[in-house]
């Protein structure tokens, strides 16, 4: 590890890299090209079969703001932890190699912090992927404009923030490095991003959501990284984490917050169904059994009841809601396959790459 002395950093961007040659240069340039000088970029390079390390080292020779860490871990969460430990900025932002920052995104986020010292700054997120015919797809989850200055104000605004993915992921948002240290948080110990974010926000009251700042998140799919059963178990874990968080806030019976949690969970269930239906490595019998387990799960039935009770949200689930509501497994599989053919990817993809970036 070679950490060089440079100007005092206001923010540190931690970039986890593994076999990232195809998108790595874009990620590096999106950070180093920001209209803000007081930034440290920490590239944590995991064992790779391509030129990822060479690309980072070559760029580091030209730019003192880039520090390169070569690590033996293959766990992206552990790589993030190593990068946070090497960070010198007051705030940290975590990135994967296929993500990138829009111009001025970091400047806008840091300006918000300078105004009110937020513990968390959330940008709008654009998800980039490729359709079944190789076409480039982009879907944007725009955050509502929020500036909460107390825990009570944050809790009152939590439902729309949860719906737009505030606790789905650790990447693409500015986190207070001192707060991470004070709470003793380690991603490698949590092994779940929603759990990490819920722990990070425990007792926090200064939250800012900036619709005008844009973070691009790539949907890199790593085949076989997790079995679909594990992905669905992760979705159920995330639901429990959010419900436990609501209970700690004294908001377990808050209808708006409970509905937001179930809305997100049902989207994730649909994403899991898509995942298993796209896999070629399992038989049709096994595929049907796995989808049936998801559809029949108690958490799915509760989520369906919540969504059906709020008709204004039913349209958000497209053609997948009706067969799930009727417990029609065959129709679920057919709807998922049809959605894939026409490029209708799930709005909230499950995290299927805990072991790799």
Q: Give the pLDDT confidence score for residue 130 in this predicted structure.
A: 62
Q: Give the pLDDT confidence score for residue 138 in this predicted structure.
A: 75
How many whole angstroms separate alpha carbon 89 and alpha carbon 86?
Answer: 9
How many whole angstroms separate alpha carbon 343 and alpha carbon 168?
Answer: 23
Q: Give the pLDDT confidence score for residue 349 in this predicted structure.
A: 41
> Position of tokens 């803000």?
36
E-only strand ranges, 156-274: 174-176, 207-218
* C-alpha gyration radius of the chain: 20
Residues of the chain below pLDDT 70: 1-7, 129-136, 191, 219-229, 340-357
Q: Give the pLDDT confidence score for residue 190 in this predicted structure.
A: 85
Per-residue pLDDT of 59-118, as tens digits, reads 999 999 999 999 999 999 999 999 999 999 999 999 999 999 999 999 999 999 988 889
Query: Rounded to whole angstroms, what are the CA distances from 44 to 96, 118, 142, 267?
Result: 10, 26, 29, 32
Tell me how crowded residue 233 is: count the other CB atoms within 10 A of its CB: 13
280: CB partners within 8 A, 6+ apart: none
> Position of tokens 């391509």?
50
Q: Give the pLDDT confidence score for residue 286 in this predicted structure.
A: 92
Q: Give the pLDDT confidence score for residue 279 in this predicted structure.
A: 81
Using an 8 Å Cβ cutoff, are 192 and 238 in contact?
A: yes
E-only strand ranges, the chain: 11-17, 39-45, 66-70, 91-96, 100-101, 120-130, 136-141, 146-148, 174-176, 207-218
Count the helix, strand and coil residues of the chain and give each as a percent rounded to the nearest 5. 50, 20, 35
How many whole angstroms separate alpha carbon 145 and alpha carbon 161?
Answer: 10
């Amino acid at each position: 590890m070679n950490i060089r002395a440079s100007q005092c950093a206001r923010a540190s961007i931690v970039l986890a890299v593994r076999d990232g040659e195809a998108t790595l240069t874009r990620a590096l340039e999106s950070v180093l090209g920001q209209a803000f000088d007081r930034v440290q970029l920490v590239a944590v390079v995991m064992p790779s079969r391509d030129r990822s390390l060479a690309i980072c080292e070559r760029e580091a020779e030209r730019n003192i703001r880039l520090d390169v860490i070569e690590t033996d871990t293959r766990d992206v969460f552990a790589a993030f932890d190593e990068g946070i430990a090497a960070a010198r900025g007051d705030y940290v932002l975590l990135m994967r190699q296929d993500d990138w920052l829009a111009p001025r995104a970091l400047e806008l986020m840091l300006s918000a912090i300078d105004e009110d010292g937020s513990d968390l700054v959330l940008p709008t997120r654009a998800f980039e992927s490729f359709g079944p015919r190789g076409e480039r797809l982009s879907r944007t989850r725009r955050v509502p404009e929020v500036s909460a200055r107390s825990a009570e104000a944050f809790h009152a605004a939590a439902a729309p923030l949860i719906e737009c993915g505030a606790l789905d992921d650790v990447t693409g948002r500015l986190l207070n490095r001192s707060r991470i240290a004070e709470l003793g948080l380690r991603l490698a110990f949590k092994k779940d991003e929603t759990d990490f974010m819920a722990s990070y926000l425990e007792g926090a009251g200064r939250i800012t959501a900036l619709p005008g700042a844009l973070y691009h998140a790539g949907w890199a799919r790593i085949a076989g990284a997790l079995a679909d059963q594990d992905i669905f178990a992760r979705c159920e874990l995330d639901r429990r984490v959010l419900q436990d968080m609501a209970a700690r806030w004294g908001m377990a019976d808050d209808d708006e917050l409970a509905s937001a949690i179930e809305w997100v969970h049902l989207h994730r269930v649909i994403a899991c169904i898509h995942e298993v239906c796209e896999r070629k490595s399992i038989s049709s019998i096994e595929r049907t059994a796995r989808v049936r387990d998801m559809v029949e799960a108690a958490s799915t039935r509760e989520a369906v009841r919540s969504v059906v009770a709020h008709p204004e949200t039913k349209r958000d689930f497209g053609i997948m809601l009706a067969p799930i509501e009727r417990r029609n497994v065959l129709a679920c599989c057919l709807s998922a396959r049809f959605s894939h053919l026409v490029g209708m990817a799930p709005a909230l993809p499950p995290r299927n790459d805990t072991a790799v970036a």
